Amino acid sequence: MIDLSRYQGIIFDMDGTLVDSMGVHVEAWQVTCREFGYPFDREYHHSLGGVPTAETAVLLNKRYGCKHDPYVVAAFKKKVFDELEDLPALIEDTHIIFQRYIGSKPISVGTGSDRAHATWLLSQHNLLDPLHALVTSDDVAKGKPHPDTFLLAAKKMGIAPENCVVFEDTEMGRQAAVNAGMACIMVINGQVQTGL
């Protein structure tokens, strides 16, 4: 078990870190890209994990020279996601850590998902009630890689950023943690990387 005793607070990303839902998100983006005429790049979409959906649409417009309304794209992608979704499984490595430290340290989730989806998904796995804070794309003006999501989670826990550790599965999320002045432990293919 990884030792987090040096940290006062723990922040988990949700999709791809606590819950194995990234595959469904990428699949929904594949359908959305086809609908709006964006080339589909699986690796690129996975790298954008944690970026709010409308912001992802802005990035796609810029990357491919399109002018689609980001909120129209986001609404379509959400509809596709909701239709595709079965309940994603928990990621065992991070769930063990979550269970180990719940009650002894404040724990938050900082996600690029919207509040309705995050609340539903975390509730399905009984992870919502134990949280000190849930910060979603609805709570911040700028998503990952900006630090706002994690800074707000730290503020809600009442802990200085430098005393928090973040668990993340994407480079965008890692950048957000670093930009927030926090340590970051990566979760790659469901495995917690212990070389911190």
What element of type H or E holds 64? helix 53-64
The two structure tokens encoding residue 65: 């020279």
Angle subtended at Cα 25 by Cα 43 and Cα 46, rounded to the nearest 5 degrees: 20
Is 13 a residue of the active site?
yes
Concatenate the DSSP letters of all residues of 72-120 into one string: HHHHHHHHHHHHH---PPBPHHHHHHHHHHBTTB-EEEE-SS-HHHHHH
Match 């630090």 to its residue by tokens.
147
Bridge partners (DSSP) of residue 90 are: 19
Which listed residue (3, 13, 129, 148) is catalytic? 13
Q: Which value, to the nearest 10 degrees, does the dihedral of the CA atoms of residues 124, 163, 157, 146 take?
A: -70
**What residues contact residue 67 under an 8 Å CB cut-off, 6+ apart?**
61
Look at the chain and count its residues.
196
Measured distance CA(193)–CA(186) in Å, rounded = 6
Q: How far is CA 87 from the centre of its chain?
A: 16
| 3-state SS assignment for residue 44 | helix
Report the catalytic residues: 13
